[in-house]
Structure 1
Amino acid sequence: MKKIITVIGAIIENENKEILCALRSPKMSLPNHWEFPSGKLEKGEGYKEAVEREIKEQLNCSIEFINVVKYNTQEYHDFMMTLVTVKCKLVSGIPNSKEHSKLLWLNKEYLPSLKWINANIPTVDLLAVQ
């Protein structure tokens, strides 16, 4: 049986209602694909605590959890991942990634123009029509 992990993906909006997109580096699994900044849900954490902690660690900025947008389960070669995408608001700081090759603020309607990891595509499709 494949390992199952839960990942929280942050749909971070800025004051212009643009969404933060992160390009996975060549050193990461699924390289050169876009994703919503994300991290694993740790034991005992809720979605709010997990996403706020992960974004602080990864992007050195503070966000505020607003609500859950979508659940999506995706099968990969050696594991199953449930991606919970959550809407967040940038509260303070400027996102600066240590892991990703690039960060990009993009209007919702342009999200489908990027090459996304499969787990993020249902959320991208949902956001693009809102």
Structure 2
Amino acid sequence: MKKIDVVGAVILNEKNEILCALRSQKMSLPGLWEFPGGKIEANETPQESLIREIQEELNCTIRVGELVSDAAYEYPTIIVRLITYLAKIVDGAPIANEHERLIWLPIDQLFTLEWAPADLPTIEALTTLNINAQNLKI
């Protein structure tokens, strides 16, 4: 079975809300929510990949912080290893170039959305962390 390594950004704003991205009808798993990011390319660190992917997908620049989750999920035809990091926007405002929609939600409301299965371990990790955007070292 094919395996891919992908990265995702848990982007926090000043209100301690997290950016959630709705997968478009052109993507696999359309209509499910995810943390924005993408595939790690050859010769890239996960952090470098995440900065590049967010620039491409959302037209903004992020600073990458600490690791949130590193978990694999086995879909019927592929195994996805999703590595997520806390992040903060340092330049620009997110624009949905590839996603159908973007919303900001508090951590305690993340479970109200229907997430892609690979993203669920990140949400579980976030609910156990005491995250405060003002105290983050990002």
Quickly name the TM-score band, shorter chain normalised. Answer: over 0.9
**Over aligned residue pairs, what C-alpha RMSD do you find?**
0.9
Whole-Å separation in 2 of the counterparts to 1:78 and 1:33: 18
Q: Which runs of 4+ in 1 moved over 2 A?
A: none
Whole-Å separation in 2 of the counterparts to 1:126 and 1:70: 7
The alignment's TM-score, normalised by the length of structure 1, stands at 0.95
3-state DSSP of counterpart to 2:10: strand
3-state DSSP of counterpart to 2:80: strand
Whole-Å separation in 2 of the counterparts to 1:10 and 1:86: 5
Gaps of 5+ in 2: 130-138
3-state DSSP of counterpart to 1:25: coil
3-state DSSP of counterpart to 2:95: coil
Whole-Å separation in 2 of the counterparts to 1:99 and 1:77: 24
CA drift at 1:126: 2.0
3-state DSSP of counterpart to 2:96: coil
3-state DSSP of counterpart to 1:9: strand
Whole-Å separation in 2 of the counterparts to 1:126 and 1:78: 26
Corresponding residue of 2:55: 56
The alignment's TM-score, normalised by the length of structure 2, stands at 0.90
Whole-Å separation in 2 of the counterparts to 1:27 and 1:53: 21
Deviation string for 1:15-62 (max 9, x for gaps)?
111100000112211010000001000111112111001000110001
Corresponding residue of 2:134: none
Whole-Å separation in 2 of the counterparts to 1:84 and 1:125: 14
Corresponding residue of 2:123: 124
Whole-Å separation in 2 of the counterparts to 1:46 and 1:28: 24
Whole-Å separation in 2 of the counterparts to 1:79 and 1:126: 23
Corresponding residue of 1:25: 24
* Corresponding letter in the other structure for 1:23: L
Identical amino acids, percent of aligned pairs: 46
Whole-Å separation in 1 of the counterparts to 2:37 and 2:52: 10
3-state DSSP of counterpart to 2:55: helix
Whole-Å separation in 2 of the counterparts to 1:122 and 1:8: 13
Map 1:87-98 onto structure 2 (within 5 A): 87-98=86-97
Map 1:1-130 onto structure 2 (within 5 A): 2-130=1-129
3-state DSSP of counterpart to 2:28: coil
